[in-house]
Amino acid sequence: MVSRKITIGILVNLCRFVVALTFIFSGYVKAIDPLGTLYKLQDYLEVVHLSAYVSDYITLAVSVLLGGIEFCLGVLLLFAIRRRLVTRLLLFFMAVMTPLTLWLALDNPIEDCGCFGDAVKLTNWETFGKNVVLLAATVLLFMRPLAMPRFISRSNQWIVVNYTMLFILVSSSMSLYTLPPFDFRPYHIGANIRKGMEIPEGAKQPQFETTFILEKDGQRREFTLDDYPDSTWTFIDSKTVQTEAGYVPPIHDFSIQTTDGSEDITDSVLNHKGYSFVLVSPHFETASDANFGEIDAIYEYSLDHGYPFYALTASTDEAINHWRDITGAEYNFFLTDETTLKTVIRSNPGLLLLKDGTVIGKWSHNDLPGLDYKSPRLEDTEYGRMPEHSVTSKISQILLWYILPLMLLTFADRTWKFSQWIRKKEHSNRIYKLLKRKKNMRKKIVAGNWKMNMNLQDGIALAKELNETLTNEKPNCGVIICTPFIHLASIAQFLNQDVIGLGAENCADKEKGAYTGEVSAEMVKSTGAQYVILGHSERRGYYAETPEILKEKVLLALKNGLKVIFCIGESLEEREAGKQNEVVKAELEGSVFNLTEEEFKNIIIAYEPIWAIGTGKTATADQAEEIHAYIRSIIAEKYGQAVADDTTILYGGSCKASNAPELFAKPDIDGGLIGGASLKAADFMGIINAWK
């Protein structure tokens, strides 16, 4: 059984890599040549007679999206991100494409489906076979998505997703603005056009058969050259079909004619010794005229130095004349096949530089060479030499900008996950747990809540006395004083917050606005305060603060960099009814359990039994420990034991210097939120010193 499971896992991941790499390659070659993909989509639209109804802008957008989606799906599959969703999308994609390629194979309306752009040419039957294999692989991936191990943890997957989408969209945009970084077509830089047109000696020639349709005495018949009849028959039509394949040179449709069709100048252009500029525009009707000034400057430069300049197009005389009118073009125009021009360069217009019939430079109209009347001859410029940018250097750039960052991310993520695994193993060790519990590294805090007591002068005097005493005596715990709003800014000026933290007793549930009398979290933070008390029983009882109001206050406090002392606790009636656990859990769920784990680390819980505040009743140390342990357990249920172990939980029910040592000795009580006893320095110091 185990062996079978391992075998299936190996097969699933083999399919994963095959499908992922295929989609990455297919998507990338489409994405970096969006115009080439657009031309192929236009071929499909013409086959189904929809080309007149779909604009080029829509087709271009679809071509960019198609390449981007394929690339992103491949990367997501490779890294096993959103495994169920991605395998479903891949299965849907292949379920659509496989029947489509079967139709192409049977009917052959288009010779090349364009699935790998110009990088790899497949026959329609080869494409169908490839899709059958990919479909079978995606079915297996769809059935067993969880058999693919992740390369990146879930928490960091968003980085890969967003970086991949940004990378592929930027790649497409740059290819549209300039030219594709990789040129798989026969007119690439370094290609000699004349040699690309040659047929090797002894190469097999394609065979064609021409059929003639003739008519005589109202009767029509088909004839071949072998049985062509006498002159009494009238010619109607003819058709030529290829009967046997043969060698077809990479360049087989390149020709240049004058606009009136009277002269073919192909040989004179390709046989010219030296440099020639060739401006290419399949259609001047849709060509960009944004940079015509730079084109005219290059034409003037070519005249000054005796370099031929040709403008090749498939446009009508009307379109050529319109281009002349709007740009002032003085160069000569020649006719070349539209498909050929689209193959030569992915820009409209674009510029070629030939030397002895070899392409040594190609530029988009957005990235033309800086040549004008001040420039030296081409022999003395970088433009007149073959570029040094090799395929290897281009691949290296892709590795540098995309693959290397992802590899580093994967390595860092796996290292982080391994360290997490080590920590989990340590946590699972009972001895380690016991030692950690004994050591108890949670922060111990004694916080004073002055409530609505003391004027500004008395408050400053008390704060100064505490600041001086604690600076000299170095407490064994964290100390916080939470004062009325009017005290905050004044006390913050002289308080050493490395010794005593400063906090507010409340803040508003609104960020800003027409709320007379309210004080926002931003205002509290601006005074120099670090903490704020929220959810105090007096605010809940006297001012009807609901869990929803408190939830908003907590979020605003955290947003403005404040740490929250969040109060919970039950009334006397609730305690006597045995509902204390239910009450504190509901208060946490209503206002702070919506936070993320990282946000919750800025929460200090203060348990205040309302029934033990000003009632004459006192919670025993055991009662306090019992509810504190319960609070820690429900935090562990929500965020995990590690977060629960690090959460400081204070006791806030009539804590004095006399009972503080017994309370603080309990393992789940981490200090106190002190009311009346915090208004006198001696009383407050007595509680602080309980930690000693």
* Cα–Cα separations (whole angstroms), residue 552 to 505, 535, 580: 16, 11, 24
- Is 252 one of the annotated active-site residues of the chain? no
In this predicted structure, which of 11-15, 198-202, 513-517, 520-524 has the lowest mean pLDDT? 198-202
Residue length, the chain? Answer: 692
Judge whether 318 lies within some domain: yes
Judge whether 77 lies within some domain: yes
What does pLDDT average to over the chain?
Answer: 89
C-alpha 555/C-alpha 549 separation (Å) is 10
Residues 650 and 532 in one domain: yes
Residues 291 and 160 in one domain: no
Which CATH number covers residue 681? 3.20.20.70
From the annotation, which residues make up the binding site? 449-451, 614, 654, 675-676
Q: pLDDT at position 95, please?
A: 95
pLDDT tens-digit series, residues 340-373: 999 999 999 999 999 999 999 999 999 999 998 8
Which CATH number covers residue 371? 3.40.30.10
C-alpha 312/C-alpha 283 separation (Å) is 10
pLDDT band at 439 (very low <50, low <70, confident <90, very high): very low
Using a pLDDT cut of 90, give the percent of the chain over it.
63
Q: Are residues 441 and 477 in contact, defined by beta-carbon separation less than 8 angstroms? A: no
Q: Which residue's structure tokens are 């000693």?
A: 692
With a cut of 50, say whether residue 435 has pLDDT above it. no
From the annotation, which residues make up the binding site for substrate? 449-451, 614, 654, 675-676
Judge whether 402 lies within some domain: no
Judge whether 392 lies within some domain: no
* Cα–Cα separations (whole angstroms), residue 540 to 518, 610, 651: 16, 11, 18
More confident residue, 282 or 408: 282
With a cut of 80, say whether residue 422 has pLDDT above it. no
Residues 8 and 77 in one domain: yes
Judge whether 86 lies within some domain: yes
With a cut of 90, say whether residue 432 has pLDDT above it. no
Q: Catalytic residue among 70, 538, 574, 608, which? A: 608
Tell which residue, 677, 678, 680, 686, has the closest CA to residue 657.
Answer: 686
With a cut of 60, say whether residue 89 has pLDDT above it. yes
Mean local confidence (pLDDT), 469-488: 93
Residues 143 and 239 in one domain: no
Judge whether 348 lies within some domain: yes
Residues 54 and 81 in one domain: yes
Judge whether 535 lies within some domain: yes
How many structural domains are present in the chain?
4
Q: pLDDT at position 140, please?
A: 94
Residues 527 and 556 in one domain: yes
Residues 336 and 217 in one domain: no
Mean local confidence (pLDDT), 572-581: 90
In this predicted structure, which of 39-53, 144-158, 434-448, 645-659 has the lowest mean pLDDT? 434-448
In this predicted structure, which of 70-74, 138-142, 257-261, 541-545 has the lowest mean pLDDT? 257-261
- Is 322 one of the annotated active-site residues of the chain? no
pLDDT band at 438 (very low <50, low <70, confident <90, very high): very low
Residues 492 and 365 in one domain: no
Judge whether 252 lies within some domain: no
With a cut of 90, say whether residue 259 has pLDDT above it. no
Range of the domain at 45: 2-177
Q: pLDDT at position 295, please?
A: 94
Residues 169 and 263 in one domain: no
pLDDT tens-digit series, residues 641-666: 999 999 999 998 888 898 999 999 99
Q: pLDDT at position 447, please?
A: 96
Q: pLDDT at position 223, please?
A: 85
Q: Catalytic residue among 536, 570, 587, 625, which? A: 536
Residues 70 and 154 in one domain: yes
pLDDT tens-digit series, residues 480-496: 999 999 999 999 998 99
pLDDT band at 616 (very low <50, low <70, confident <90, very high): low
Angle between helices 456-473 and 485-492 (to 10 degrees): 50
Mean local confidence (pLDDT), 451-466: 95
